[in-house]
Structure 1
Amino acid sequence: MTPVYVRYDSAGTILEIFTRDQPHMVLVRHDDQEPLIAKYLRDPLGLEERFPPLKKWQLWLAALELEPPIAKADILATINDMPDMSFKDKETVRIMIEDAQQYSREDPRIDLLAVAMGIPPNQMDDLWRWAACIEPL
Structure 2
Amino acid sequence: MRSSGGRDADRALAARVDGTYARFQRIREGAEALRRELSSLRVSVSSPDACVRATVDARGRLVDLHLDGSRCVGIDPAILARLITATVGEAAAQATAQVRSHVAAQLPESPAAPDLLADGDASGLLGRYAPGGPHSAGGRP
What TM-score does the superposition give when structure 2 sets the normalisation length? 0.23
State the structure with more CA Rg.
2
What TM-score does the superposition give when structure 1 sets the normalisation length? 0.24
Higher relative helix content: 2
